[in-house]
Chain A
């Protein structure tokens, strides 16, 4: 059995899965001031009466770090930033404990200016005086050569201090995002650590001794004891749980769109051949743009409780919510009221719903039913338009080779999967406008917990081999290795696969799920003064988001 728990903003869902079937599902209200208690309550209720020893795996998805960030309850972080030449540092995160220091690496990964030891030591004294224990170090181009970040950490090394190094969190290029990601990783470290200790204590007391995973924003899982090093990667896992939930409940192999229609918002996600798409750069947390790998999702302001109004003789739906549906004593008419009028939903007072919709109908000289139908159509149109916009955006994403420009992969959804309270009432209208069929997955009310329960471990690494420098660098694993001048792209990818396997195993992957995919592989001849001086080889290899396999490992 697998236990999956998703602590969401309003509800905490919990499922017990046996042989890939939902055996039990529980929903409790989330206490945002005490997330641990909600998690424990859901767990207790789910496992009660079950044979605890049958549980083989537990996966958690929580908003604990996200909440801490939103509520400003994170730790002070001492940031050491190497801006080098380029954009003005005013675009970096601003914090009284952030220091710009000398030393930098160039675009080839060559150290141009060394770290100034005395400068770093002085900053260390400030951290000491201010009692700052969480230290973040981020340098421009550090994924191209992590040695300066490592050196700075070594100079500042102290038993009391915990370090977050930029190159370990992502191999992607984007220094302002790297600085922000490093900052967040350090800022939520303690909160995350405390949560893990409490969870472990509870499990220990309940005599549950199985691997415990936590869900990351990219829809992959990581062992909680490993997640201590990468807490930033677990921020914003809520949307990922929901998207993985679609995969867990629908047998999807095609290009598709998934909609999670809630009370206030609708989340749109996109799948290519049944694999959820990732954000190109990384997720945005609060105001901070990060390098945290995350599933691509777009939230639009429309849901069952969206306020319906008449503006200049036109019906508008959303983007705000003023309260619950009129049927539930809310202040304004909503799509939910329209559904009640049309007999597509039954809750609250039907009379109140009728009155609310009628109050709009008289303004436009319509009968109540036509008004309800018009509202439903309008809501469906807003959602469908946004879906088409997102698909167009994805298909218009800039590319950098002639091949990709002329023959690049184009996403053409064949199905729209609809989840959430108003799913069955709204799906037909949306599907009609989109021009492809809809499906409403089972268990969609606990899809998030189910998604978490069945997600596999994901990981990614970035390989750079520069045969002129005779150096191989794998940023995320901190690998800097000498290579011979005749090192090939094939060897670089092989080295990448080994590193990825090691990383994924550490993170808790099952060998059955080690399905690696080379997402980028480029090889450039380096020519200086008309002579070939080496090769610049770049590759990204990942274990893509997906479900744990029920079958033995496929040949890779």
Chain B
């Protein structure tokens, strides 16, 4: 294939002095061999690959997409601010035109962090992609963004933050939730009533190999992106679909990851999970970097790579093809679907029980959205955690319609804060955040 070389920015921050705990997969050693491989290949000497130092995200950046309980200061350490800051740096370099695309190879990850955050879940405290997306919207006037989550785990945090946002398309492909944490991300999860189709889930059977991933890329993801026409594509680039990953069951390879990134052509890639730190990450990361830079990646192969040994079964292929057809069918009928979902309701409610596995917190949440044909809709959240914290949040979407705005502002003004430890007002359109 004839490739065009691109200028690629690399924000590499392995945080060699930070771990969740001593033996946790999210530990100091995680990107050690990746760094070795990137250095040894001499990637940073190539004319079209430039390395940048990450900036630090601010608490204001976090407050644009999260309701941190009680506040972002209590939920984050420097490591999280650097990791999100690295994603922001990647966005800045791309959108200021310094590079064509950029890869934030940072840790810790973020895609399990939901809109309301009481603590860490799935190794994530804050959602680094969402922090970056809101930074992009505020600073670069970009309206439509697609996030393609290629981590093996359902990107439930990102989905939650953008569930009601018709302008942010969240596509997650992942190992079937019946067989893996966090146990969600089925195809029926298709976005809130005002944003149907802006959330797309593609669960894949265990043992899916390159063929299956590339099939859904070609037959679902690329056609959907083509129609959605995002101004920017972000790859939430987890690397735990790899056949050697210790905590998942998939059969994706470095070659597959590289080809996927070449075809998807993300403007920004942000590292998520991936814990086969020695056998997979060095090769997958080099493959992704080369693919983004438009360079030959055909020599990037894991030492034990044998495509025949990991190839998916015919049954898996059949399941994936059938599912792809179904998802595409839903996508094509997404506008008609609203009537069916909403009926005559003015408000719709979701009740969620959320477990924070990393911090051991249990949260009960009731989320109410105003049905609206003009915007993403006013969102109201009541959330109580077994930490004793109970909060209420009012969230106004981007491009908020006058009615939702009026209702939201009035509600927050009249809200009796007595029974809550904190109440929050997040106006995504006007970039106002109030905590009381």
Residues of A within 8 A of B (CB): 83, 85-91, 106-108, 112-113, 140-141, 144, 172-177, 281, 289, 396-403, 405-406, 522, 524-532, 536
Contact: B299 with A522, CB < 8 Å? no
Q: How far apart are the CA atoms of A91 and B43 in the complex, in Å?
A: 10
Check: B45 CB closer than 8 A to any chain A CB.
yes
Contact: A177 with B45, CB < 8 Å? yes
Q: Name 7 extra pairs, CB < 8 A, besides A86-B286, A87-B299, A522-B16.
A: A85-B303, A87-B43, A107-B33, A108-B33, A177-B45, A400-B15, A402-B78
CB < 8 Å neighbour of A88 from B32, B79, B296? B296
23 pairs, A vs B, C-beta closer than 8 Å: A87-B286, A87-B290, A87-B299, A89-B299, A106-B303, A141-B36, A177-B42, A177-B45, A281-B44, A289-B42, A289-B45, A398-B52, A399-B53, A400-B14, A400-B16, A400-B35, A402-B79, A402-B82, A405-B54, A405-B78, A406-B78, A524-B29, A536-B29
Q: Closest 6 interchain pairs by CB? A: A176-B42, A173-B39, A88-B296, A173-B40, A401-B17, A107-B36
Of all chain B residues, which has the CB nearest A89? B299
CB < 8 Å neighbour of B23 from A90, A107, A530? A530
Check: B332 CB closer than 8 A to any chain A CB.
no
Contact: A88 with B295, CB < 8 Å? yes
Contact: A86 with B300, CB < 8 Å? yes
Contact: A527 with B29, CB < 8 Å? yes
Contact: B78 with A175, CB < 8 Å? no
Check: B190 CB closer than 8 A to any chain A CB.
no
Q: How far apart are the CA atoms of A402 and B15 in the complex, in Å?
A: 6
Contact: B278 with A175, CB < 8 Å? no
Q: How far apart are the CA atoms of A86 and B303 in the complex, in Å?
A: 10
Check: B309 CB closer than 8 A to any chain A CB.
no
Check: B301 CB closer than 8 A to any chain A CB.
yes
Please give, as numbers and ranges, the residues of chain A lying within 8 Å of B12 by CB-CB distance.
Answer: 398, 400
Q: How far apart are the CA atoms of A174 and B39 in the complex, in Å?
A: 6
Interface residues of B in 18-70 (CB under 8 A from A): 18, 22-23, 25, 27-29, 32-33, 35-37, 39-46, 51-54
Q: How far apart are the CA atoms of A90 and B41 in the complex, in Å?
A: 12
Of all chain B residues, which has the CB nearest A404? B17
Q: Least Cβ distance of A518 to chain B in Å? A: 16
Would A91 and B78 be within 8 Å (CB), given that A399-B53, A527-B29 are in contact? no
Interface residues of B in 294-309 (CB under 8 A from A): 295-296, 298-303
Contact: A85 with B301, CB < 8 Å? yes
Contact: B17 with A403, CB < 8 Å? yes
Contact: B299 with A91, CB < 8 Å? no
Check: B282 CB closer than 8 A to any chain A CB.
yes
Contact: A107 with B45, CB < 8 Å? no
Q: Chain B interface residue count: which class?
A: 35 or more
Of all chain A residues, which has the CB nearest B298? A88
Please give, as numbers and ranges, the residues of chain A lying within 8 Å of B78 by CB-CB distance.
Answer: 402, 405-406
Please give, as numbers and ranges, the residues of chain B lying within 8 Å of A108 by CB-CB distance.
Answer: 33, 278
Q: How far apart are the CA atoms of A144 and B37 in the complex, in Å?
A: 12
CB < 8 Å neighbour of B45 from A85, A174, A399, A524? A174
Check: B246 CB closer than 8 A to any chain A CB.
yes
Please give, as numbers and ranges, the residues of chain B lying within 8 Å of A86 by CB-CB distance.
Answer: 37, 40-41, 283, 286, 299-300
Contact: A526 with B53, CB < 8 Å? no
Please give, as numbers and ranges, the residues of chain B lying within 8 Å of A400 by CB-CB distance.
Answer: 12-16, 35
Of all chain B residues, which has the CB nearest A396? B53
Please give, as numbers and ranges, the residues of chain B lying within 8 Å of A106 by CB-CB distance.
Answer: 303
Please give, as numbers and ranges, the residues of chain A lying within 8 Å of B52 by CB-CB distance.
Answer: 398
Please give, as numbers and ranges, the residues of chain B lying within 8 Å of A527 by CB-CB distance.
Answer: 23, 25, 27, 29
Q: How far apart are the CA atoms of A176 and B40 in the complex, in Å?
A: 8
Please give, as numbers and ranges, the residues of chain A lying within 8 Å of B35 by CB-CB distance.
Answer: 400
Please give, as numbers and ranges, the residues of chain B lying within 8 Å of A90 by CB-CB distance.
Answer: 296
Contact: B51 with A83, CB < 8 Å? no
CB < 8 Å neighbour of A87 from B13, B28, B41? B41
Most central of A83, A107, A112 by chain B CB within 10 Å: A107
Of all chain B residues, which has the CB nearest A143? B40
Contact: B51 with A398, CB < 8 Å? yes
Of all chain B residues, which has the CB nearest A405? B82
Please give, as numbers and ranges, the residues of chain A lying within 8 Å of B299 by CB-CB distance.
Answer: 83, 85-89
Contact: B42 with A91, CB < 8 Å? yes
Q: How far apart are the CA atoms of A379 and B295 in the complex, in Å?
A: 41
Of all chain A residues, which has the CB nearest B282? A107
Q: How far apart are the CA atoms of A381 and B7 in the complex, in Å?
A: 31
Of all chain A residues, which has the CB nearest B305? A85
Of all chain A residues, which has the CB nearest B246? A529
CB < 8 Å neighbour of A402 from B18, B25, B278, B295? B18
Q: How far apart are the CA atoms of A90 and B278 in the complex, in Å?
A: 26
Q: Least Cβ distance of A301 to chain B in Å? A: 21
Scoring B residues 68 to 88 as 1 if CB is less than 8 Å from chain A, else 0, what string do you get? 000000000011001000000
Contact: A531 with B45, CB < 8 Å? no
Please give, as numbers and ranges, the residues of chain A lying within 8 Å of B246 by CB-CB distance.
Answer: 528-529
Q: How far apart are the CA atoms of A402 and B12 in the complex, in Å?
A: 12
Contact: A398 with B53, CB < 8 Å? yes
Q: How far apart are the CA atoms of A289 and B45 in the complex, in Å?
A: 8
Please give, as numbers and ranges, the residues of chain A lying within 8 Å of B290 by CB-CB distance.
Answer: 87
Q: How far apart are the CA atoms of A405 and B14 in the complex, in Å?
A: 11
Of all chain A residues, which has the CB nearest B28? A524
Would A107 and B27 be within 8 Å (CB), given that A90-B296, A176-B42 are in contact? no
Please give, as numbers and ranges, the residues of chain B lying within 8 Å of A174 by CB-CB distance.
Answer: 39-40, 42, 45
Q: Least Cβ distance of A464 to chain B in Å? A: 10
Of all chain B residues, which has the CB nearest A538? B32
Would A85 and B302 be within 8 Å (CB), given that A405-B53, A525-B23 are in contact? yes
Contact: B53 with A524, CB < 8 Å? no
Q: How far apart are the CA atoms of A405 and B82 in the complex, in Å?
A: 9
Contact: A175 with B42, CB < 8 Å? yes
Please give, as numbers and ranges, the residues of chain B lying within 8 Å of A522 by CB-CB distance.
Answer: 16
CB < 8 Å neighbour of A532 from B23, B32, B53, B82? B23
Please give, as numbers and ranges, the residues of chain A lying within 8 Å of B286 by CB-CB distance.
Answer: 86-87
Contact: A397 with B301, CB < 8 Å? no
Q: How far apart are the CA atoms of A398 and B11 in the complex, in Å?
A: 9
Q: How far apart are the CA atoms of A527 and B25 in the complex, in Å?
A: 8
Q: Least Cβ distance of B370 to chain A in Å? A: 42
Contact: B40 with A140, CB < 8 Å? yes
Q: How far apart are the CA atoms of A113 and B303 in the complex, in Å?
A: 9
Contact: A107 with B28, CB < 8 Å? no
Q: Least Cβ distance of B285 to chain A in Å? A: 11
Please give, as numbers and ranges, the residues of chain B lying within 8 Å of A398 by CB-CB distance.
Answer: 12-13, 51-53
Please give, as numbers and ranges, the residues of chain A lying within 8 Å of B18 by CB-CB distance.
Answer: 402
Would A531 and B41 be within 8 Å (CB), given that A89-B299, A398-B12, A398-B53 are in contact? no
Q: Least Cβ distance of B98 to chain A in Å? A: 14
